[in-house]
């Protein structure tokens, strides 16, 4: 089995690491305070110009065509510097991938280059509703056919990048009489479409630099040509794309976890108690050893899922395992990092408390840890026949 990265993958990882250190890390604390939005948007543009907003999109449409392994490697590096920027990058990449997978040639030619080059600062998925979170098939947003148009009415909640996304991928009910999950379609909706309005940003515990909004659709009329794929086939698309998005969330989780433990290890070597560095105490060394195991296992699970996706193999189970383990590992790593810092870790003078807040959402979005366990069990039993 070949574990070595290709030359291109190494190059992309190093490029992401340098950009993250130079531009993302210095801004992260400011974003956490709710400031620096202009600089944040400038960094998104820079990421696009360097190929990070369309890593798995074909070059024909302006993409990097680097693959899912490169996507995972890049997101880990970005998240280690700034989780808010990394999650925006992850979602934008997944918007590009769903358009490439399901869209027709006109849709791909129209929208993918704008995501790839930063014309759209970000892309956003509009799937979740107040009564349709872990159960997206229960959505109520109505998409009614009217001549050569569809008219959208309803709202979506907790939409990442809602207030600065240039393009929404929106799921809506096109056949309310169909069995649950069977009458749903997916549409491309530019953010400047009349009838689309953006609610205020949620006041969040962490990842505050990444805006999360409610999106309102009030008789929003879009051309019928903006339907992606077949009518009433959108739920299948959603399920498939969520699996790819879980690789992104797993990678973001790993980046946060790594940053937390890097900070903790440095602090442990500098902090002295009882006349010696606290890193010399066995109890603390075992804490570091356990978390090093978490980091390594998470990375292997992520790269396994990413490699399977790149080879065109089924990867839903592997993506859920990676997302579950990496997000739970991020919780353990950030908690350990605070414990190693002692009282200092509870203060905002050190970044580990921010890492803990940033990590908490990873166990919730793109499917909770409980949902991941359901998927893993279902796929395991299905494979048994």
Return the active site residues: 366
Report the distance separating Cα 345 and Cα 25, nearest Å: 19
Q: C-alpha 13: how far from its chain's center?
A: 17
Structure tokens at 261: 């433990």
Q: List CB contacts of 38: < 8 A, sequence separation 6 or more.
A: none
Q: Which helix (H) or strand (E) holds 123?
A: strand 123-126
Angle ∠(152,213,118) on CA atoms, nearest 5 = 85
Report the distance separating Cα 45 and Cα 23, nearest Å: 12
What is the SS3 string spanning 64-78?
A: CCCCHHHHHHHHHHH
Distances (CA, A) of 162 to 191, 202, 211, 292, 368: 9, 10, 6, 35, 21
DSSP state of 346: G
Distances (CA, A) of 373 to 131, 307, 319: 21, 21, 11
DSSP state of 166: S
Q: C-alpha 246: how far from its chain's center?
A: 7
Of 176, 159, 172, the C-alpha closest to 219 is: 172
Answer for the pair 257, 330: CB distance below 8 angstroms, yes or no: yes
Answer for the pair 172, 152: CB distance below 8 angstroms, yes or no: yes
């Amino acid at each position: 089995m070949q574990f070595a990265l290709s030359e291109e993958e190494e190059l992309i990882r190093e490029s992401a690491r340098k950009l993250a250190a130079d531009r993302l890390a210095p801004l992260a604390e400011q974003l956490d305070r709710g400031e620096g939005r202009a600089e944040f948007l400038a960094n998104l543009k820079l990421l696009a110009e360097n190929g990070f907003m369309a890593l798995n999109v074909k070059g024909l449409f302006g993409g990097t065509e680097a693959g899912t392994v490169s996507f995972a490697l890049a997101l880990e590096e970005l998240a280690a510097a700034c989780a808010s920027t990394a999650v925006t990058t992850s979602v934008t990449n997944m918007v590009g991938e769903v358009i490439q997978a399901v869209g027709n040639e006109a849709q791909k030619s129209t929208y993918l280059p704008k995501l790839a080059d930063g014309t759209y600062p970000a892309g956003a998925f509009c799937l979740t509703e107040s009564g349709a979170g872990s159960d997206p098939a229960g959505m109520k947003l109505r998409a009614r056919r009217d001549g050569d148009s569809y008219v959208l009415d309803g709202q979506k909640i907790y939409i990442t990048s809602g207030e600065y996304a240039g393009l929404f991928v929106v799921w809506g009910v096109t056949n309310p009489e169909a069995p649950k999950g069977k009458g749903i379609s997916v549409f491309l909706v530019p953010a400047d479409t009349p009838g689309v309005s953006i609610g205020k940003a949620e006041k969040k515990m962490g990842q505050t630099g990444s805006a999360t909004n409610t999106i309102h659709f009030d008789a929003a009329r879009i051309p019928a040509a903006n339907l992606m794929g077949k009518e009433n086939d959108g739920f299948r698309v959603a399920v498939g794309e969520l699996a790819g998005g879980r690789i992104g969330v797993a990678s973001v989780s790993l980046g946060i976890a790594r940053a937390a433990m890097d900070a903790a290890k440095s602090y442990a070597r500098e902090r002295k108690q009882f006349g010696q560095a606290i890193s010399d105490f066995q109890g603390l060394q075992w804490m570091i050893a356990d978390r090093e195991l978490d980091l390594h296992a998470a990375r292997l699970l992520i790269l396994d899922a990413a490699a399977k996706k790149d080879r065109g193999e089924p990867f839903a189970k592997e993506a859920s395992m990676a997302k579950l383990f990496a997000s739970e590992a991020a919780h353990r790593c950030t908690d350990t990092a605070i414990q190693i810092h002692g009282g200092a870790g509870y203060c905002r003078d050190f970044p580990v408390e921010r890492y803990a807040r940033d990590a908490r959402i990873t166990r919730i979005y793109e499917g909770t840890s409980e949902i991941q366990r359901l998927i893993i069990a279902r796929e395991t039993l299905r494979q048994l026949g």
